[in-house]
Amino acid sequence: MKVTVSRRAHFNAAHRLYRPNWSDEKNEAIFGKCNNPHYHGHNYELIVSVTGEVDPETGYVVDVKILKDFIKSEIEDTLDHKNLNLEVPEFKHKNPTAENIVIFIYNKLKVVLEDDLDLEVTLYETPRNFVSYSGK
Amino acid sequence: MKVTVSRRAHFNAAHRLYRPNWSDEKNEAIFGKCNNPHYHGHNYELIVSVTGEVDPETGYVVDVKILKDFIKSEIEDTLDHKNLNLEVPEFKHKNPTAENIVIFIYNKLKVVLEDDLDLEVTLYETPRNFVSYSGK
Amino acid sequence: MKVTVSRRAHFNAAHRLYRPNWSDEKNEAIFGKCNNPHYHGHNYELIVSVTGEVDPETGYVVDVKILKDFIKSEIEDTLDHKNLNLEVPEFKHKNPTAENIVIFIYNKLKVVLEDDLDLEVTLYETPRNFVSYSGK
Amino acid sequence: MKVTVSRRAHFNAAHRLYRPNWSDEKNEAIFGKCNNPHYHGHNYELIVSVTGEVDPETGYVVDVKILKDFIKSEIEDTLDHKNLNLEVPEFKHKNPTAENIVIFIYNKLKVVLEDDLDLEVTLYETPRNFVSYSGK
Amino acid sequence: MKVTVSRRAHFNAAHRLYRPNWSDEKNEAIFGKCNNPHYHGHNYELIVSVTGEVDPETGYVVDVKILKDFIKSEIEDTLDHKNLNLEVPEFKHKNPTAENIVIFIYNKLKVVLEDDLDLEVTLYETPRNFVSYSGK
Amino acid sequence: MKVTVSRRAHFNAAHRLYRPNWSDEKNEAIFGKCNNPHYHGHNYELIVSVTGEVDPETGYVVDVKILKDFIKSEIEDTLDHKNLNLEVPEFKHKNPTAENIVIFIYNKLKVVLEDDLDLEVTLYETPRNFVSYSGK
């Protein structure tokens, strides 16, 4: 009996989308307002979903307090109130799109979770735009 | 690495549920208040989810601006502020239930999206009732 | 010690905005898509707020079950799944704008509530557009 | 063509997490504040999702009114305004964690639904913590 | 120039509504399901709103971090994961209705805030029922 | 009969809080993570509320389409996807705190609205922190 346990979290960050090897015109055409060289920002909302067997003694798949602590140490401490392009090495040469951020978050959490737990991460860049990734 | 990108949209419409070949009693029994011959209406909330590979150059699965434009041209321009029974040919002889509307939206969007993108559409008829369809 | 007690409710309805004594061009210019002669509709969300002294015995300003019943009998039974223009006499010759509907709801509830209770009604026509009225 | 129809509901309940065969220290270490012997409580939000073929006559997978009645009779009447540990036999000797409650709800609803309908239940214990179960 | 600064918080608690000097029948008639002697519970959502002049140096009315700490020390530490009837002295002989709880929260916060700041507290007992109090 | 009409909007922006005439230590102590010299950002949600008499002909206090256009031209075009410190002259020498931004928005909208309309602006910096200002 596999149950999925989800925990919601959030962080705020600034970012910019552009390719240094593209002309200004192409960056503007592809990334529009997101290409602003002075950066803009978002309140990122995060849902971390972990699927596994329910422990018959505790009735837990995973202790949500532990999950919350992992999200704090691995994700919030790394991304909250940061400039993603300048302060997160992963995004020095890779665009901090929602897609790339959600893969980054997935990879950071996957390694600290028990191997037999499945993971899916959903990331809201705005209330209207969001992405999800489950390692497939 | 497949990521799902979702975009939220909305439209308002009037509709009525009934079968012309049924008696008034049967229409009333099956469709209840939704059978009102003068129509009633909803704020439909829509989530369009597209799954595909992340482009390594842009970091996008799909440009959300393009997705937003498709939702505008294919769905909002067709359904927003409309009477679904009277003004949308698809629902002239088919009940505009949430189920039938979500399939209609899926089919309209599927043909304009790249072939290698998977699509799922979720449609909220009210904050408490919603449906989803992924072409299966 | 005056406390405000609020109860959320909702109803669905169809409506149309237009003035029969105006030309089609003027109706179109002023009311735009809301002028569709075939009607469109909304999920109206309603917040009814009642302010008064806390009863020292019960700890209630008003029993929310009673407030809920008033909203059901006075508002939902009158407006839910209705065509406001055709089925609600108040809107036969008056436009069912959010402003006029919220005043209508306020007046219907004010007469059934105890005289010493203040009333404010907020009405969401969509999640982005809402109005409120407190009888002033 | 399989569509998923979802209905949102809610109930309020008190509960406590502990294992009678564990020491107080262990209960405190594992369950923290949830181990309070005087109980605490939640507004549980519930999403019941049913997947099946769309009936070509009605345009329904399932009549949401019937689904709503099942949720009322099977779940709300059993759990709403209850102390889960003391008043729900299932949780006399099993911890009422969100995981165990969602499985309980799934099992109660599965038996009353048509056999050819798939079921998934999502349960929010708080707006930030939720679980889901689909019988797998 | 007075600006209102609001901070949202939450706590979970169990409670029961009844009057020991009333008959069981009267308690049942007035308080209904809320009279369950085994308690039930809620996720209380809280909005604390502070109004005052903007400090021209910092641009703050009040430092939200300080407001957050007050809510933690005065309210969450007192009420979160508690049985309000049994563990909060204020509600030993007074019903923990939403009205009485919001007044309690107001009084606890008012004394720790600067005298020249106005305070209003809104408390959601459920997403559909909420109360507010501003000391008037 | 005065009714309040509200319109919700949003914009994304980057910002930083600091005082150039303060030491790094003082900036860090007062503004914490918000002092990050590389900026961070938010999805600002905005509610613009206009109070006035209902026009007996149209049933409008204000045409929401016109209000929406004012919010677009005065606020979104000025603030969306911008770095508030670097690109909005108002915040060159004044901290872009939520308080100062909400006053800025109020002042920009007040001058374009009819004189006999009252205005209140609410600005969510995050879902948990928000401010409001009505010119008093």
Digit-coded pLDDT (tens) for D47-60 = 999 999 999 999 99
- In this prediction, residue B51 has a pLDDT band, given cuts at 50, 70 and 90, of very high
Average of per-residue pLDDT across B32-40: 96
Residue E27 pLDDT level (bands cut at 50, 70, 90): very high
Q: Is E76 a catalytic residue?
A: no
According to the model, what pLDDT value does residue B54 have? 97
> Residue C98 carries which DSSP code?
H
- CA torsion, points B52, B56, B60, B66, in degrees to nearest 10? -90
Name the CATH architecture for the domain at D2-11+41-133.
2-Layer Sandwich (3.30)
Which pLDDT score is estimated for F86? 97
Please judge whether C5 and E32 are an interchain contact, meaning their C-beta atoms are less than 8 angstroms apart: no
DSSP B115: T
**Tokens, residue F132:** 């409001």
The mean per-residue pLDDT over the stretch A79-107 comes to 97
Percentage of chain F exceeding pLDDT 90: 99
Q: What percent of chain C has pLDDT over 70?
A: 100
Report pLDDT for A124. 98
Asked whether F14 and F40 are in contact (CB, 8 A), the reply is yes
Confidence of residue A117 (pLDDT cuts 50, 70, 90): very high
Q: Which residues pair with D6 in a beta bridge?
A: B130, D49
Mean pLDDT in residue range F3-9: 98
Chains E and F: how many Cβ contacts under 8 Å? 53
As a whole number, mean pLDDT of residues A58-71 equals: 97
Compute the distance between CA of residue A89 and CA of residue A70 in angstroms, rounded to an integer: 20
Chains B vs D: touching, with 3+ CB pairs under 8 Å? yes
What is the pLDDT averaged over residues B67-82? 98
The pLDDT confidence band at residue E57, using thresholds 50, 70 and 90, is: very high
Q: Going by C-beta distance under 8 Å and a sequence separation of 6 or more, which residues neighbour residue A40? A: A14, A15, A16, A33, A34, F12, F13, F14, F41, F80, F81, F82, F83
Which pLDDT band, with edges at 50, 70 and 90, does F81 fall under?
very high
Query: Which of E47, B4, D98, D20 shows the shortest CA–CA distance to A67?
Result: D98
Mean pLDDT calculated for residue range A86-94:
96
The residues of C whose Cβ lies within 8 A of any Cβ of B are: 10, 12-15, 33-34, 36, 38-43, 45, 80-83, 86-87, 126-127
pLDDT band at residue A48 under the 50/70/90 scheme: very high
Q: What is the dihedral of CA E102, E105, E107, E113, to 10 degrees?
A: -130
CA-CA-CA-CA torsion sign (C33, C37, C41, C45): positive
Token couple for A20: 């240094």
Per the annotation, the verdict on F10 as an active-site residue is no
pLDDT (0 to 100) of residue C88: 98
- Written as one string, the DSSP assignment of chain D is -EEEEEEEEEEEEEE----TTS-HHHHHHHHGGGG-TT-EEEEEEEEEEEEEEPPTTT--SS-HHHHHHHIIIIIIHHHTTEEHHHH-GGGSSS---HHHHHHHHHHHHHTTS-TT-EEEEEEESSSSEEEEE---
* Mutation to test the B interface, candidates C11, C12, C28, most B Cβ within 10 Å: C12
Task: Tell me whether residue E93 is exposed, middle or buried, using C-beta atoms within 10 angstroms of its C-beta: 0 to 12, 13 to 18, 19 or more.
Answer: exposed
| pLDDT at res. F11 | 97
* Rounded mean pLDDT, E16-23: 96
Q: Is residue B34 annotated as part of the catalytic site, yes or no?
A: yes
How confident is the model over F84-111, as a mean pLDDT?
97
Reported as a pLDDT band with limits 50, 70 and 90, residue F129 is very high
pTM of the model: 0.95
The size of chain D, in residues, is 136
- d(Cα E118, Cα E52) in Å, to the nearest integer? 7
Q: How far is CA F77 from CA D26, E91, F42, F72, F95, in A?
A: 57, 52, 16, 6, 20
Is A39 in contact with F15 (Cβ distance < 8 A)?
Answer: no
What is the CB neighbour count within 10 angstroms for residue F45? 19
pLDDT of residue B78: 97
A129 CB neighbours in chain F (<8 A) are none
Contact F59/C32, CB-based, under 8 Å? no
Residue C14's pLDDT is 97
Phi, psi of D59 (to 5 degrees): 80, 15
Q: Which of B39, B43, B82 sits opposite C126 (nearest CB)?
A: B43
Written as six digits, the tokens of C79 are 């407006």
Q: What angle do CA B116, B119, B121 make, to 5 degrees?
A: 170
CA C106 vs CA A87, D123, F21, F55: distances in Å: 54, 36, 54, 18
Mean predicted confidence (pLDDT) in A35-44: 96
Q: Are strands B82-83 and B2-15 parallel, antiparallel or unpaired?
A: parallel
Confidence of residue C72 (pLDDT cuts 50, 70, 90): very high
pLDDT at residue E51 in the model: 98
pLDDT at C34: 96
**Of A33, A43, A87, which is closest to F43 when you measure between CB atoms?**
A43
Task: Say how far apart CA F40 and CA C23 lie, in whole Å.
Answer: 52
CA torsion angle for F106, E135, C70, C11 (degrees, to 10)? Answer: 30
Going by C-alpha positions, the residue among C136, D6, A97, C35 that lies closest to residue B98 is D6
Q: What is the mean pLDDT of residues D118-132?
A: 97
User: Mind listing the pLDDT tens digit for each residue in C80-102?
Assistant: 999 999 999 999 999 999 999 99
Q: Chain B: nearest CA to C120, how far in angstroms? A: 23
> What is residue A112's predicted lDDT score, i.e. its pLDDT?
98
Q: Which chains touch F (3 or more CB pairs under 8 A)?
A: A, C, E
**Cβ contacts of E76 on chain F, cutoff 8 Å:** none
List helix spans (H) across chain A. Answer: 24-31, 64-70, 77-79, 84-87, 98-110
Look at residue E75 and give its three-state secondary structure. Answer: helix
Per residue in E112-121, pLDDT (tens digit) is: 999 999 999 9
Nearest residue, CB atoms, F41 vs list A33, A42, A127: A42
Q: Give the A-side interface with F, CB within 8 Å.
A: 10, 12-15, 33-34, 36, 38-43, 45, 80-83, 86-87, 126-127
pLDDT bin (cut points 50, 70, 90) of residue A41 is very high
Q: Which residues of F touch A38 (CB under 8 A)?
A: 14, 82-83, 86-87
Q: Is B57 within 8 Å of B26 (Cβ atoms)?
A: no
Write out the E strands in E54-116: 82-83
